[in-house]
Amino acid sequence: MKPAILIRSVTANDLRTIFEIENQSFGNEAFNKRQFKYLAKSPTSHFVVAEIENQIGGYLILTTRRNSKLLRIYSLATNPNFRGMGIGEKLMNYTKDFAAKQLFDTISLEVKESNSAAITLYQKMGFVSTGKKMDYYGQGQHALVMQLACKV
C-alpha cells in the first residue's frame, strides 16, 4: 500500500528541513533561510508542506497579487528520499483545488527549460508552455513559462 501524503500549513519548525530539501534540489540557486522565513509569514503567499511517513516529503509556495486572478507557483520541491512517490503530483492537485476555490483563473510558473522532471510533471497536470524568459536563471539558462487555465 502506498504511504499516505498529508498536506498542511508550514510551521516554523519545518523550515530547517525545508531548507535542506531546497539546497539538495536547487544547489547554488536555492532560496536562503531568510527568504523562507519571510515567505512563511507573508500574507501574499500560501506555504504548505507534504508529510509522508511523519517526515517532510516536499513543500509548495504559492504567491498572489492583489486584484490579480493569476496564482503563481513560486516554489515546489520534493525530498529526494521520497521522489517518484506521487508527492509532486499531490502538491500540484492541491494547487489546482486551491485555485478553483479561490476563483483564480490562471496558474502560472517558471521552470528551467532543462528541468525535464518538473516539465513532465507540469505537462501531466495539464500545463502548457506559454512563453520563454531568456537568461532568467543566469546567462544561457532560460525559463519556460507554463500556465494552466482554471475551470470555473
Closest by Cα among 104, 113, 83 to 151: 104
Look at the block and give the residue holding cell 508552455. 129
For ligand COA, the closer CB: 84 or 140: 84
C-beta of 91: minimal distance to ligand COA in Å?
8
Which residues of the chain form contacts with ligand COA (CB under 6 A)? Answer: 25, 76-78, 83-89, 111, 115-118, 120-121, 124
Determine the Cα–Cα distance for residues 64 and 2; give it in Å rounded to an integer: 33
Which one, 42 or 123, has the nearer CB to ligand COA? 123
- Considering the complex, state which of residue 121 and residue 150 has its C-beta at the smaller distance from ligand COA: 121
| Shortest reach from residue 79's CB to ligand COA, in Å | 8
Compute the least distance from the CB of residue 22 to ligand COA, in Å: 9
With contact defined as beta carbons under 8 Å apart, do 62 and 45 qualify? yes
At 87, which amino acid appears?
Answer: I
CB of 132 to ligand COA, least distance (A): 14
CB 89 to ligand COA: min, Å:
3
For ligand COA, the closer of residues 15 and 88 by Cβ is: 88
Q: Of 15 and 30, which has the nearer Cβ to ligand COA? A: 30
Strands (E), the chain: 5-9, 45-52, 55-63, 70-78, 106-112, 128-133, 143-149
Q: Which amino acid is at 84?
A: G
* 143 within 8 A of 136, measured Cβ to Cβ: yes
- Residue appearing with cell numbers 500540484: 92
The 3-state DSSP class for residue 92 equals helix
